[in-house]
């Protein structure tokens, strides 16, 4: 088949704990990640050349080697030169529905879709774990985006342990268009302020990682206890982002007042999400928060938890 269309879902963090520093300069993390059905559309077409050509309908998305989707295609070319020689270059068309620079893994999930799509187009027959190994060469979130669902992520985010699927919860996401939080800044600032709490010896890191597996949020997920899931949300990066970005703090407080199951900043922000048990409740929460803040530059997105990652349309 010479073309594929795929859906690339966004992800939110239900839990993010910073454990310590790694020798590679990244942080050692313990996270619980969740796919949602807010998704970009990715179309791949063989173009009969030796080139990668990238197109996107969003003006803020780069169309060169800085784009993770482009880098995913280049990685596949480098890893599988015989397949590239046989099948040639590819046009990548991104229909952007996930907000840009929002802490929702939009770029990562696009890259994951390119890896999955080229595996199919080039008839490579790679397993999910092989695709995830390739994905880890590109970025920490990309291995999760391949399979999606609900998972514990450790290391720098690339080591995954699946959890029982959650598809019974709805989510309202909100982001000010003018807000942008640098992920590198957030982690560096956290290191500056809280590195005294880091653990460094391998045994302590292992024990801290294991604690997430036995924690309240994992238990709540196993029992599909929506109220407990909402109460157990946690993100260490809120400690540095919320004081610096009052708009993000205001969003979080507005969601709390709306009586949701739980609310939190996703990843390094600036998107804030709130959990609800139904679509209708999510719509009411959106209306209440929008009325309270009254900012025409505040965008809302409604979504549902999903048990799938990249999938062919």
Close Cβ partners of 63 (under 8 Å, ≥ 6 residues apart): 54, 55, 56, 70
The answer to the question of whether 162 is labelled as a binding residue is no
Buried b (16+ CB within 10 A) or exposed e, 16-37: bbbbbbeeeeebbbbbbbbbbb
Beta-sheet strands, E only, within 24-182 = 27-46, 52-56, 90-95, 150-155, 159-162, 170-176
Choosing from 40, 119, 141, 236, the catalytic residue is 141
The answer to the question of whether 174 is labelled as a binding residue is no
The answer to the question of whether 100 is labelled as a binding residue is yes
Choosing from 11, 40, 119, 236, the catalytic residue is 11
The answer to the question of whether 101 is labelled as a binding residue is yes
Taking each helix axis as running N to C, give the angle between helix 246-257 and helix 279-293, from 0 to 180 degrees, rounded to the nearest 10: 130
Put residue 123 in one of left, alpha, beta given phi > 0 → left and psi -120 to 50 → alpha. Answer: left
The answer to the question of whether 107 is labelled as a binding residue is yes
Using DSSP, state whether 216 is helix, strand or coil.
helix
Q: What are phi and psi of 37, to 5 degrees?
A: -85, 10
Residue 141 known to be catalytic: yes
The answer to the question of whether 39 is labelled as a binding residue is no
Distance CA 242, CA 92 (A): 36
Residue 167 known to be catalytic: no
Close Cβ partners of 184 (under 8 Å, ≥ 6 residues apart): none
Beta-sheet strands, E only, within 217-297 = 234-235, 262-265, 272-276
The answer to the question of whether 108 is labelled as a binding residue is yes
Question: Cβ-count burial of 83 within 10 angstroms (0-12 exposed, 13-18 middle, 19+ buried)?
Answer: middle
The answer to the question of whether 157 is labelled as a binding residue is no
Instruction: Tally the C-alpha atoms within 13 A of residue 87's C-alpha that lie toward its C-beta.
Output: 24
Q: Which of the residues are catalytic?
A: 11, 141
Annotated binding site for ATP: 99-109
Provide the annotated binding site: 99-109
């Amino acid at each position: 088949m010479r073309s594929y269309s795929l859906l690339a879902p966004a992800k939110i963090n239900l839990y993010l704990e910073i454990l310590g520093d790694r020798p590679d300069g990244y942080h050692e993390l313990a996270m619980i990640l969740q796919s949602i059905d807010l998704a970009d559309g990715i179309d791949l077409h063989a173009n009969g050349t030796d080139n990668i050509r990238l197109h996107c309908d969003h003006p803020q998305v780069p169309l060169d080697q800085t784009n993770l989707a482009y880098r995913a295609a280049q990685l596949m070319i480098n890893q599988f030169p015989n397949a590239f020689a046989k099948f040639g270059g590819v046009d990548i068309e991104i229909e952007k529905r996930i907000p840009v620079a929002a802490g929702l893994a939009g770029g990562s999930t696009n890259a994951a879709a390119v890896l999955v799509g080229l595996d199919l187009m080039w008839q490579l027959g790679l397993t999910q774990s092989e695709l995830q190994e390739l994905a880890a060469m590109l970025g920490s979130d990309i291995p999760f985006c391949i399979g999606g669902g609900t998972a514990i992520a450790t290391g720098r985010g690339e080591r995954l342990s699946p959890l029982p699927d959650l598809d019974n919860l709805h989510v309202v996401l909100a982001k000010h268009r003018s807000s942008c939080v640098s992920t590198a800044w957030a982690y560096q600032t956290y290191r500056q302020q809280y590195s005294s709490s880091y653990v460094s010896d391998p045994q302590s890191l292992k024990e801290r990682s294991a604690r997430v597996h036995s924690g309240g949020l994992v238990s709540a997920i196993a029992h599909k206890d929506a109220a407990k899931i909402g109460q157990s949300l946690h993100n260490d990066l809120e400690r540095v982002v919320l004081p610096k970005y009052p708009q993000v703090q205001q969003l979080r407080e507005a969601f709390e007042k709306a009586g949701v199951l739980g609310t939190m900043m996703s990843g390094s922000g600036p998107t804030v999400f709130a959990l609800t048990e139904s679509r209708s409740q999510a719509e009411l929460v959106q209306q209440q928060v929008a009325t309270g803040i009254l900012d025409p530059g505040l965008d809302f997105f409604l979504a549902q938890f999903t048990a799938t990652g990249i999938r062919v349309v």
